[in-house]
Amino acid sequence: MLPVRPLIATAMVAAATGLLAAPAQAVQRPAATPVLVDIRASHHDGVDRLVFEFRGRVPAQRDIRYVSELIADGSGKPVTAAGNALLQIRFGQAAGHDRRGDVTYGPVRRTYALPGVVQVVNTGDFEATLTFGAGLARRVPFRVHTLTGPSRVVIDLATPYRTVPVRAYFMNAGRHATAVSRPVAAPATAYGALQRLFAGPTQAEKAQGLRFVSSRATGFSKLTIRNGIARVYLTGRVAGGGAAFTVADQIRPTLKQFPSVKWVKIYDAAGRTQQPDGPTDSVPQSLEP
């Protein structure tokens, strides 16, 4: 039988001198940064659903609120998005790019043919803060929740208003105007159609060859319709550049679909058009070929 006392003594000495191995402790590794891999939107009964899908966990830091203006993170410059209300969506400790700096979620600006969501545009992917702006048809109540498998942040935006289908005209591959359908809120249907025109085609429509020719117009500041004449006041440094097809070739059919519009007069940012009076269409000199 082996003597017990020497073994106990040896163990006591080893413990005192630190020779015994300490119990292994789990190493706490930092969680991987969530990476945005998809943005999608769809209409359900009474709501437009906007979904941000991430690889990894759901971002723990989320701030979603209405703002009066979209500002680019880092540069501080304003960012435009078509719509009558702007929703800012911010994810902290999240990214939208890979190690090479390539975007991981697709187009940074996208248009939707939905009752509420008009456009979604990236406004920042800077210092682990990922920010977007959503241009909406109206400022409405919304609800945010998260899902797993895969990780998603879901924003449900109420659409309690009535919409009617209208047409917006974009340039096709043959350089002619082609109509697409858009739902807009009544009764300002002409204004809504023009707003959807400036939002541009959806990704599916782009894949079919449709394009919005802006002629350097950034949008429009005002639309009036009186005595059969629609007057559109453009923003930006409008110029056709000698092209035979300009933004005017999309504005005219988009507005003339309405019985109240017989003539369309388009103004530049300085308020100029060639024929401001009389029963005729008109464009600014800068849009002439």
pLDDT digit string, tens, across residues 87-112: 999 999 999 999 999 999 999 999 99
Tens digit of each residue's pLDDT (9 = 90 or more) over 17-63:
333 333 444 444 446 899 999 999 999 999 999 999 999 999 999 99
Quick one: average pLDDT of 140-165?
97
**Which pLDDT value is given to residue 31?**
60
The owner of tokens 């942040």 is 153
Q: 195-234 b/e with 16+ CB inside 10 Å = b?
A: bbbbbbbbeebbeeebbbbbbbbeebeebebeeebbbbbb
Look at residues 215, 209, 278 and name the one whose alpha carbon lies nearest to residue 244.
215
Give dist(CA 114, CA 157) in Å, integer.
11
Got the DSSP string for 93-154? Answer: S-BSB-TT--BSSS-SEEE--SSSEEEEEEEEEETTEEEEEEEESS---EEEEEETTTEEEE
**Contact predicate 51/39, CB 8 Å:** yes
**% of the chain with per-residue pLDDT over 70:** 89
Which one has a higher pLDDT value, 289 or 235? 235
Q: How far apart are CA 80 and CA 66, in angstroms?
A: 15
CB 149 within 8 A of CB 162: no
Residues in the chain: 289
Which pLDDT score, from 0 to 100, does residue 75 have?
86
Contact of 181 with 165, CB cutoff 8 Å: yes
Distances (CA, A) of 271 to 80, 193, 231, 274: 21, 22, 10, 10
Structure-derived torsion over alpha carbons of residues 218, 219, 221, 227, reported in degrees to the nearest 10: 140
> What's the confidence (pLDDT) of residue 184?
97
Q: Which domains does the chain have, with CATH numbers?
A: 35-158 (2.60.40.3500), 163-287 (no CATH)
CB 289 within 8 A of CB 248: no
130, 124 Cβ separation under 8 angstroms? yes
Please report where in the chains the tokens 């498998």 appear, as a residue.
Answer: 149
Q: Which amino acid is at 232?
A: V
Mean pLDDT calculated for residue range 120-149: 96
Quote the tokens at residue 19. 């020779």
Reported pTM: 0.86
Each residue of 16-53: b (16+ CB within 10 Å) or e?
A: eeeeeeeeeeeeeeeeeebbbbebebebeeebbbbebb
For the cut 80, the answer to whether the pLDDT of residue 16 exceeds it is no
Tens digits of per-residue pLDDT, 165-211? 999 999 999 999 999 999 999 899 999 999 999 999 999 999 999 99
3-class secondary-structure state, position 226:
strand
